[in-house]
Amino acid sequence: MSEPNAPSPRLPKPESLEAKFKLAIALPYDQRAKRKHLLVFGFVLDWFHSTYGNALASVRHVAEKLKERDPTGKGLGRTSINDALADLVTWGWLHQEDGAGRNANRYVPAWEKVCVHPVVDTTDGETCVHPVVDAGVHPVVDTKLDSVHPVADKDPSTRTRPRDRVTGTDGQDCAAPTAPLSAGLSAADAGPAQGGFEELWLAYDFKKKKKEARAAYAKLAPMGALHASMVEAARAWQASWAAQNNPGAPRFHLHKWLEREEYECTPPSAYKLKERRLSERQATGKPHEKGAPYPRRELFTITGSNILKEDGETDLSIDVVDETGNAKDIVFNLECNSEDAQYRGQRQFAKLCGAVGIHTLEDSSQLHGLQFVRVLRGKFEEYEYEPARARREAA
């Protein structure tokens, strides 16, 4: 055992590179720590700096940065990041400072693990090592009663702050050990969500597929601040939908809303029903010739093109003229909320490109002036596309 008056070894200062290094190499020796804990704790240490303002970062930002740093490009999911933060707070590697309102909680490394000397209980000669944030107040092990409790510093020679002007007591006698009031990583709250799934269900107010929605919520397992932001976003989405005054306006089911992380996106402000395009027969009032034989082949020349984007969908409209000079447009659905519709649209467009001899399309203007043959082989068949020479050969 060391001598009582022996000088204590020099310890690193909080927030210094040496303190961060010592904390970083200490966590792997915690048998509870896994890969997610090491990655998140390392990010907190790297990101934290209270001197130059609040080093804030959302969980999404943390996830993006960890993915960038990972040579495999995998990183960590947001749920794993929230879980890791909660564990690190529970285990004492991080201190959590509650945010107010929508402000996220902040996480501060437990500098006292490497920046504070152990305290020696000279009564029984046993050493008690514990974190000391306030130099005048700290938990001390009472070896006689076998209990841990806060004990005020009664030695006036160690007083580090003046007495309270009102009560006359030392300010240290009234305080419990707390984490340093410094700015740190901003992330989701590590505490449990207050209202849980039912609060979110009522806020979103779209009473369909509750079982799927509950499962999606349980998979995310959002903590307090993330849950609160979800509830607020759900109310905003519901209000935006109601403001349209259109019962036919589409809405995401809650489980899809959660899976697509729409709660981090701006709610749609309006919905406009797409106008139904009339067929040539409906537009002109001229019925097809009764008993017209199949297959039917039409020769077209492409005269223009236009990209149409609306409600997250992308259509390519191609202007064409037939052999008689009649103009029309052919529309291909390239991006759509329906996977089947998007697949059919992209497949049809690929056939058109093959018919005009373009294998790499960088701009739709490359199609202008080219000819192709559109073929319909039956009443309920899809259109097919052939090179223009096929029409001449058939003739």
The confidence band for 172, taking pLDDT boundaries of 50, 70 and 90, is very low
Q: Give the number of C-alpha atoms closer than 13 A to the C-alpha of residue 147, restricted to the C-beta side.
A: 4
CB neighbour burial string for 153-189, b if at least 16 within 10 angstroms, e if fewer: beeeeeeeeeeeeeeeebbbbeeeeebbebbbbbbbb
Whether the pLDDT of residue 75 is over 90: the answer is no
Q: What is the pLDDT at residue 87?
A: 92
Structure tokens given for 222? 């959002």
- Measure the CA–CA gap between 69 and 288, rounded to whole angstroms: 63
Of 43-47, 124-128, 238-242, 363-367, the one with minimum mean pLDDT is 124-128
Task: Give the chain's mean pLDDT.
Answer: 74
**Mean of pLDDT values over 129-158:** 44
Q: What is the pLDDT at residue 230?
A: 87
Q: How far is CA 46 from the centre of its chain?
A: 21
Q: How far is CA 99 from the centre of its chain?
A: 19
Which residue, 144, 31, 139, 42, is CA-closest to 94? 42
Q: What is the pLDDT at residue 96?
A: 83
Whether the pLDDT of residue 91 is over 90: the answer is yes
Q: What percent of the chain has pLDDT over 90?
A: 11
The confidence band for 391, taking pLDDT boundaries of 50, 70 and 90, is low
Q: Render pLDDT for 222-276 as a digit per residue (tens, 0 to 9).
A: 877 888 888 888 998 888 888 888 777 778 889 888 988 888 888 877 655 555 5
CB neighbour burial string for 89-102, b if at least 16 within 10 angstroms, e if fewer: beeebbbbeeeeee
Domains and CATH numbers, the chain: 1-164+179-191 (1.10.10.10), 196-264 (no CATH), 292-394 (2.40.50)
pTM value > 0.95: no
- Measure the CA–CA gap between 322 and 173, rounded to whole angstroms: 93
